[in-house]
Chain A
Amino acid sequence: MPEPFEPKIVAFFCNWCTYLAADLAGTSRIKYCPNAEVVRVMCSGRVDVQFVLKAFAKGADGVLIGGCHPGDCHYQEGNYKALRRYRLLRRLIRQMGIEDERLRLEWISAAEGDRVRAVINDMVETLKRLGPLQKSEEERAHLLEVA
């Protein structure tokens, strides 16, 4: 009996808002799906597009970027840069055959512990519906052709 598909999410959380919100979810003992692993950065503006692409290439089924609400960035404007990059990156990954819903940018403030739960659970449900992103056996075989 094959194991049911558990999507893997790589989450880039900004230190001041989203990471604190996730900590708050912890201190409040709010429960959510264990599918997301967090990479902490100081600001969502540090999230390089290369990081997102690397995560997908390594096998992430979804990538979540968490930042402060517009106007509330601890560093003033970093989250706006993240937003601009995200909007263009969306189009790129669409061309590469990756569904929009696999890449998500969410604004979560330090006080919104429950939102961390809601976003992650929602993303897990969506990814379960979309299925794994990993290369199929056939594709892997083709790429290994040249090895």
Chain B
Amino acid sequence: MSERETVRIGVYVCHCGTNIAATVDVKSLAEYAGLLPNVVLSRDYKYMCSDPGQDLIRQDIRDRQLNRIVVASCSPHLHEHTFRTALKVGGLNPFYFHMVNIREQASWVHENRAQATRKAKNLVSAAVQRVAFHQPLERGRVAIQPDVLIVGGGIAGIHAALTLANAGKHVFLVEREATIGGHMARFDKTFPTLDCAACILTPKMSAVRAHPNITLWTYSEVTKVDGYVGNYKVTVLRQPRYVDEDLCSGCLECIEACVYKQAKVPDDFNLGLSKRRPIYIPFPQAVPQVPVVDPETCIQFKSGKCKTTCIAACGDRHAINLRMEPKEERIEVGTVILATGFQTFDAHRVPYYGYGKYPNVYTALEVERLVNASGPTAGEVVLRDGRRPEAVGIVHCVGSRDENTHRWCSRVCCMYSLKLAHLIKEHTGAEIFNFYIDMRTPGKGFEEFYQKLLTERVHFIRGRVAEVTDWALDPTEEGKLVIRVEDTLAGFVRRIPVDMVVLATGLEPRTDAPEVRRLFNISCASEGFFLERHPKLAPVNTFTDGIFLAGCCQGPKDIPDTVAQAGAAAAEALALIDAGYLETEPNTAHVEEEKCCGCKTCISMCPYHAVAFVDEIHKSRVNEVLCKGCGTCVAACPSGAIRQNLFEDDEIFAEIEGVFSNA
């Protein structure tokens, strides 16, 4: 742009239906804008983001020789890209554009029409002053590394991995536990079809193992992420299982041969309901089918004095190596899918339900293990003392829909509570009571499932359970757990004695979600789940290009939705990889070398080492590929020798001036 070029600005004020127009006087705003310096035309229109709206811009650029465009509408996070594209199609550099947020930050948050309009006028004036300083810029292109990292080997990670691997991409699937499968591996049957979870999951797990395009690293964690979008350098720490995956044949004789004739260690897979030996496999269909040695409980590790019968049993395969060291792997990937899942709400946090106090209060996941034929009780639903329960109460919404614990609805609990009601009844013939607030059965086949349960003579009591107690008020309650609840449909408080209480615990973000998100530089939403770019338009994208979300780490959901989302994430990754490049926002910094005095202040400002000191010329230089465009070095430069595209001092000062138009 030459210094002499006359700036010709077109201003467009969007009504957004009544979203903006109901509170901001859009006509008066457009009129006001038309009188501002350098503004050649000013229009208002119902929906600027629509095709006709964008056409207006494209037409006007050609007909009125506009060289700057301002659109006053919604948040730039929503449509900045849309309008920049409109400029491009209209033949103007897309960065000659500036957007004013008069919806999310004006019409939707203020009530007084005069004040909201006045604010909008100031903001438009600011944009008009700013846009005059805009320079033509080109988006950079960064080549995308074709490999994909998927963090988390539950059903979401598995499905995404298979989809991508089948498309010919190389996938690194990293899973923290010793086996993939996630929470789904613990389920018995899945709603609403009562499919056996293992039957539908294990084939996928095997497919992962067998797929030539998938590198499966279990018992591993991502510890460091360097590099930049499209070119991540990831460090994965592989914990030692003390059994060599390549040499092990999966015969499991070492486990049988362990000196511990009785298993003594609480079995984590069965949630402590059974015990395992120090050498173990999480569950029979674990993938990889390779045992793990737990150094905390293995005698050889603790005292060095074990007969190591396991090693003997392994024989000449020599797969057991108790000297194994943790190993760091460094990989380069272009895209990442986070599928780290959820954790269940800790029922200890609601002590009035008696979990941990009364032995026969269980969480739903524990009961899943009980009903499971390969669980700790071989499918027998029994109490701690081995008796069969005659009456079971299932308490919905534990740790969900509650101001004191979590406000959200965990989405799956009504359905799994119905499923458990059915399964427990099938296994024990007991009388089942479900205590619910609402029955949330929205999915395909869900309502029908609920109707089926209604015919199975399960009792449904609408009420929030207040308390589980063993305090008997009469002989019928002796030795029972009494559930106290207000039956809101009947209109009175009831005491229902049962033998077993099942708490439908909700889903919550994992405790380490904040660390994981910092590793990958994405955000968490207010509840702690990972934040999606847009709940409707971009539910699997994050605000960081190249990083996608799948499954419950983004929010509670059931398996059908998880698998759908995993497929979506894989598709997004695929789209990026096949395009071959990512376009970077050109808001990078650059040093005006003649002006740089070599004070090196900027060098220490950049956490990405994007600013380097060039000794030969005694000046700083910015590597635009590494620069992420924060502008910290720009503010820190003591003599103003570094500038930031799109956020120049001139532009921001102009915006500040404009805000004081005092319309």
- Hey, which bits of chain A sit against chain B, CB under 8 A? 6, 8, 10, 16-17, 19-20, 22-23, 25-27, 29-34, 37-43, 45-51, 54-55, 58-60, 71-72, 74-78, 81, 85, 109-112, 117
Contacts and interface: CB of A to CB of B under 8 A. Distances in A.
Contact of B104 (A10, A22, A31, A45): A22
B232 to A, nearest CB: 15
Contacts of B106: 34
B630 A75 contact: yes
A38 B636 contact: no
B104 A78 contact: no
A26 B122 contact: no
B526 interface: yes
B317 to A, nearest CB: 47
Nearest to B543: A16
A52 to B, nearest CB: 9
B112 A45 contact: no
B284 interface: no
B582 interface: no
A117 B109 CA distance: 9
Contacts of A58: 656-657, 659-660
B649 A48 contact: yes
A25 B109 contact: yes
Contacts of B656: 10, 39, 51, 54-55, 58
Contacts of A77: 607, 632
A45 B635 contact: yes
Interface residues of B, number: 51
Contacts of B75: 23, 26
Given A10-B659, A74-B543, 8 more contacts: A8-B660, A19-B77, A31-B110, A31-B111, A34-B106, A42-B629, A48-B634, A48-B635
Contact of B632 (A23, A32, A38, A46): A46
Interface stretch (B156-164, B267-275, B517-525): B517-525
Contacts of B521: 74
A102 B109 CA distance: 23
B112 A34 contact: yes
B587 interface: yes
A26 B109 CA distance: 6
Given A34-B110, A42-B587, A72 B104 contact: no
A27 B659 contact: no
Contacts of B531: 110-111
A45 to B, nearest CB: 3
Contacts of A42: 587, 629-631, 647
A89 B536 CA distance: 42
B628 interface: yes
B495 to A, nearest CB: 40
Contacts of B632: 43, 45-46, 75, 77-78, 81
7 contacts: A10-B656, A26-B75, A26-B105, A50-B649, A58-B656, A78-B632, A81-B632
Given A45-B632, A72-B518, A39 B108 contact: no
A61 to B, nearest CB: 11
Given A37-B123, A43-B631, A46-B632, A16 B523 contact: yes
A72 B653 CA distance: 27
Given A22-B104, A31-B110, A42-B647, A111 B652 contact: no
B103 interface: yes
A15 B77 CA distance: 9
A46 B635 contact: yes
Contact of B630 (A8, A43, A71, A110): A43
B119 interface: yes
Contact of A71 (B112, B116, B518, B636): B518
Nearest to A58: B660
A116 to B, nearest CB: 8
Contacts of B366: none
Contacts, number: 140
A34 B631 contact: no
A88 B77 CA distance: 33
Interface of B: 75-77, 101, 103-106, 108-112, 115-116, 118-119, 122-123, 126, 518, 521, 523-527, 531, 543, 587, 605, 607-608, 628-632, 634-636, 644, 647, 649, 652-653, 655-657, 659-660
B589 to A, nearest CB: 10
A51 B653 contact: yes
A78 B610 CA distance: 14
Contacts of B118: 34
A9 B631 CA distance: 23
B622 to A, nearest CB: 14
A26 B108 contact: yes
Contact of A81 (B109, B518, B605): B605
A41 B631 contact: yes
Contact of B119 (A22, A37, A47, A49): A37
Contacts of B635: 45-49, 81, 85
B100 to A, nearest CB: 10
Residue picked from B521, B628, B632, most chain A C-beta under 10 Å: B632
B659 A110 contact: no
A26 B659 CA distance: 20
A55 B110 CA distance: 23
A39 B76 CA distance: 13
Nearest to B119: A34
A110 B525 contact: yes
A78 B115 CA distance: 33
A29 B653 contact: no
B647 to A, nearest CB: 6
B77 A111 contact: no
Contacts of B631: 41-43, 45-46, 78
Contacts of A51: 652-653, 656
A55 to B, nearest CB: 6
A37 B122 CA distance: 8
A38 to B, nearest CB: 6
Nearest to B106: A34
A81 B602 CA distance: 12
Nearest to B527: A111
B109 A31 contact: yes
A109 to B, nearest CB: 7
B585 to A, nearest CB: 9
B230 to A, nearest CB: 17
B330 to A, nearest CB: 21
B104 A23 contact: yes
A59 B118 CA distance: 16
Closest 6 CB pairs of A and B: A26-B104, A46-B631, A111-B526, A45-B632, A75-B630, A43-B630
A113 to B, nearest CB: 8
Nearest to B523: A110
A37 B110 contact: no
A57 B543 CA distance: 36
A34 B115 contact: yes
B17 to A, nearest CB: 15
A38 B105 contact: yes
A27 B104 contact: yes
A44 B302 CA distance: 52
B108 A29 contact: yes
Contact of B647 (A20, A27, A46, A72): A46
